[in-house]
Amino acid sequence: MALSGVFESSPETASKLAAYLLAEPGDFLLLMNGEMGSGKTTFTRMLGAALGLGANITSPTFAGLHEYRGLDFDLLHFDIYQVGVSYYDLKELLLSSPARKLIVIEWAEKLEPGCVEQLRGEGVKILELGFSDSYKITLT
């Protein structure tokens, strides 16, 4: 799977992305942007299932963060529409255990300025997913 392009928001796309994540070492940050109802949580659920975390992933809208433990990854699923998250918050989560982390952030455009660049500079792999109302994902 090329890591850029426009894809259907589907279990097949989630499986291909999961295979990529499993094959690459290190931690990942998935930055999700898109209007309300564009499929961010639905795709996170499909990705979690493809990673073997089950399909019980729910929206973190009211909690801010949901955590799921897996054999290959710990999935940390944020919704920062109403609650901010800083570089230091993310760094603390990355260091909290030796497990590999997949941090999914819905409404990533609300991250503090410079946060993504700092994490990228420390070796965290960054993938950006833009969701449209036609359930297409633009992956960069």
Q: Who contacts 69 (Cβ-Cβ below 8 Å, separation ≥6)?
A: 99
The overall longest dimension of the chain from CA atoms, in Å, is: 38
CATH 3.40.50.300 fits 9-139, yes or no: yes
Cβ atoms 32, 116 nearer than 8 A: no
Burial of 39 from C-beta contacts in 10 A (0-12 / 13-18 / 19+): buried
Give the distance from CA 57 to its chain's centroid.
12
- From first to last of its 140 residues, what are the pLDDT tens digits of the chain? 456 778 888 888 888 888 888 888 889 999 988 888 888 888 889 889 988 887 688 888 888 889 998 888 889 998 888 888 888 888 888 888 888 999 999 898 988 889 989 998 888 888 888 887 656 666 65
**Whether the model pTM is above 0.85:** yes
Residue 47 is encoded by which pair of tokens? 């990705």
Per-domain residue ranges of the chain: 9-139
